[in-house]
Amino acid sequence: MSQDAIIEIKDLEVVFGSGSAAVRAVNGVSLCVERGQTVALIGESGSGKSVTLRSLLRLHAPKRTSIKGSIRVAGHDVLSLSSSALSDFRGEVCSMIFQEPLLALDPVYSVGDQIIESIQRHKGCSRAEANKKALALFERVKIPSPERRLAAYPHEMSGGMRQRAMIALALACDPQVLLADEPTTALDATVQIQILLLLRELQKTLGLSIVFVTHDIGAAVEVADRIAVMYAGQIVEEGDVRTIMRAPRHPYTKALLQSRAHGSLDRGQRLATIPGAPPDLAKLPPGCAFAPRCAYAQDACREGTIALVSLGESHGARCRRTDVTHLPHTESVEA
């Protein structure tokens, strides 16, 4: 792990339920995020991105969740924090932008009251001082008429304004780490771009470390320094944005890139798809979980544990066929 790391996740396992019904949502994830760095977690729905993100704040129901491994954020051992220490940690050290702010914000209180309450809880200041800071936050996230918007309820704001208010709430207590759980999914394309540009600007001006969860590769490229690709609860490839986009080495990463619309796609040309479906996390197959959908899979891929192969500085892929995956993808895949 880097000495500059602000987030260190090692061998993280998250299991929901128990016995034969146990769902292994995260299977041995290790990830390092340096100070001031933005890392994007990408992958299909159900790959473990949001589960990993929420584990950083211990948001999973403890009675139904088993978490193993270690998580350190800004020097805090997250999995060993007491309830009171965890309350201080959330918001003050690490905070989250949720996917749907209309559900995350309390509908019976004004947005301003919710931000002011958070500031008073963590900063111990007066309501007047907290109100002044909340107003400054609304101005920072570019909410028009901030005084009037502070008194608005969540349902009285547009989707884009609610997401900006959610970002303001996440920044209210000056956290060092910001977790963004698909913050642009429910927004139209124009507003998505505005939110992405805002996050990038805030990261640079405030020196935040950000973990950004998305299934949109375009969004990841816009804001991230590094990309970690997840499949079936594991990180199957990790590297800087340029390397992942130009020279992906895991078949799943290659398939994700090929299945998006891009400038080289001719009119009338069919968009590539990934055949089959992600595995059942309660019944994971041995070996590589992507093997049933992979054009390069061999018998050896369907047995044992697949180790992460180093492919250069800060680039690795969890694959036994890295000898051929750098070649152009020309093989067809049977469903």
Is 239 inside any structural domain? no
pLDDT tens for residues 78-103?
999 999 999 999 999 999 999 888 88
Residue 248, by phi and psi: left (phi above 0), alpha (psi -120 to 50) or beta? beta
Nearest CA to 7 among 46, 67, 57, 43? 57
Is 187 inside any structural domain? no
What's the mean per-residue pLDDT of the chain? 90
Is 74 inside any structural domain? no
* Domain housing 147: 94-174
pTM: 0.90
* Secondary structure element (H or E) that encloses residue 190, with its range: helix 189-206
248: tokens are 């992906």
pLDDT at 329 over 50: no
Is 17 inside any structural domain? no
Band (pLDDT 50/70/90 cuts) for residue 332 is very low
pLDDT tens for residues 13-25?
999 998 878 999 9
Is 117 inside any structural domain? yes
Nearest CA to 47 among 196, 255, 315, 203? 255
Structure confidence at residue 245 (pLDDT): 92
Is 136 inside any structural domain? yes
Structure confidence at residue 235 (pLDDT): 97
Q: How many domains does the chain have?
A: 1
Kindly calculate the radius of gyration of the chain based on its CA atoms and give it in whole angstroms: 21
Lowest mean pLDDT among 5-9, 150-154, 188-192, 263-267: 263-267
Is 196 inside any structural domain? no
Is 256 inside any structural domain? no
pLDDT at 241 over 50: yes
Structure confidence at residue 215 (pLDDT): 87
pLDDT at 182 over 50: yes
Q: What angle do CA 314, 206, 147 make, to 5 degrees?
A: 145
pLDDT tens for residues 65-74?
999 999 999 9
Band (pLDDT 50/70/90 cuts) for residue 236 is very high
Lowest mean pLDDT among 13-22, 135-144, 253-262: 253-262
Taking the alpha carbons at both ends of the chain, their separation in whole angstroms is 39
Structure confidence at residue 2 (pLDDT): 59
Alpha carbons within 13 angstroms on the beta-carbon side of residue 155 total 4
pLDDT at 335 over 70: no
- Give the residue-averaged pLDDT of 254-259: 88
Burial of 152 (0-12, 13-18, 19+ CB in 10 A): middle
Band (pLDDT 50/70/90 cuts) for residue 111 is very high
Burial of 158 (0-12, 13-18, 19+ CB in 10 A): exposed
What length does the chain have?
A: 335
* Beta strands per DSSP E along the chain: 5-16, 23-34, 38-42, 65-73, 76-77, 94-97, 177-181, 209-214, 226-231, 234-240, 309-312, 315-317
Cα separation, 192 vs 139, in Å, equals: 19
pLDDT at 107 over 50: yes
